[in-house]
Amino acid sequence: MALNNSYDARLVQQETAVGAGVQVLLLALIGTAIGMGPAGWLTGLAFAIATWAVLSRALHRSRLRSFGAANRVTLGRAVLVGGVTALVADSFQDSPPVSLFVGLTAVALILDGVDGKVARRTGTSTPLGARFDMEVDAFLILVLSVYVSTAMGPWVLLIGGMRYVFVAAARVWPWLTAPLPPSTARKTVAALQGVLLLTAGAALLPYAANVGVVVLALGLLVWSFGRDVLWLWRTSRVAATPAGPEVRRELVAG
């Protein structure tokens, strides 16, 4: 992020407060439009409070002097994801309007490609911004998988839960926390998850075709995670040998 000469936590924390306020406003608009029930309201508000609390703590620990344009875009996406989350929670009582569900999700997915570009162009890329972006993406995929699973079965939850299982496994096997080399394939597979799940969730295709779309999403995700886990395991094994650092550099270069 662009740095000022002094650090004022209040200026940065105000951004998260505004985000929470906009989230509540969006929930009010959705509730007025579709008559959202208690489940949707409570889930949406819980998401807003959790996002505000976690982000505020992360900002305090990182001591960023400016929230930055890229994080504002990501925060906007988080607000939309909160709206989608409320709709999905409400769908257990009453099906949400498809147009509203698709519209909010589509905008959130489109903006996923914006915040990174803004960060690079403005020179404001930070580890916090990258993590914030990743967590919003992961939660949206989880919510979409929950929604699709109501029509196709609990196996769809494997898509939304895979990253969280990976994070939990990393606490048991620390070698999973090693940095991965950049990969266009990994980014493409991650981006496709939301598009494919939204396609299936919109139910515009025949049921069999929607199942095929979700199976494709799951297959691509298993391949991507499997490839990364294998690379991390092989790298950890090489690093444990006397010639580890040299061979590891060769693996990364290759």
Sequence-distant (≥ 6) Cβ neighbours of residue 238 within 8 angstroms: 244, 247, 248, 251
Token couple for 159: 């898509």
- What integer best gives the mean pLDDT of the chain? 87
| Confidence tier at 9 by pLDDT (50, 70, 90) | low
The Cα-based distances of 22 to 14, 33, 50 in angstroms read: 12, 16, 14
What's the whole-number mean pLDDT along residues 129-155?
Answer: 94
Q: Quote the pLDDT of residue 144.
A: 97
Token couple for 209: 């075709």
Give the Cα separation of 32 and 71 in Å (integer): 29
Q: Quote the pLDDT of residue 1.
A: 37
Token couple for 125: 């890329």
Question: What is the SS3 assignment for 124?
Answer: coil
Dump pLDDT digits (tens) for 91-126: 998 888 899 999 999 999 999 888 778 878 877 778
Dump pLDDT digits (tens) for 57-100: 888 887 777 778 888 899 999 999 999 999 999 999 888 889 99
What's the whole-number mean pLDDT along residues 27-35?
Answer: 92
What's the sign of the alpha-carbon dihedral 88, 92, 96, 98?
positive
Q: Quote the pLDDT of residue 96.
A: 84
What's the whole-number mean pLDDT along residues 15-30?
Answer: 91
For residues 144 and 116, which has the higher predicted lDDT (pLDDT)?
A: 144
Dump pLDDT digits (tens) for 162-218: 999 999 999 999 999 999 998 999 999 999 999 999 999 999 899 999 999 999 999
Judge whether residue 31 has pLDDT over 80: yes
Q: Quote the pLDDT of residue 4.
A: 43
Q: Quote the pLDDT of residue 8.
A: 56
Q: Quote the pLDDT of residue 61.
A: 83
Provide the b/e sequence for 187-204 (b: ≥16 CB within 10 Å). Answer: eebbeebbebbbbbbbee
- Triad 81, 87, 90: Cα angle to 5°: 140
Q: Quote the pLDDT of residue 249.
A: 52
Q: Quote the pLDDT of residue 3.
A: 40
Most confident of 16-30, 84-98, 136-150, 232-246: 136-150
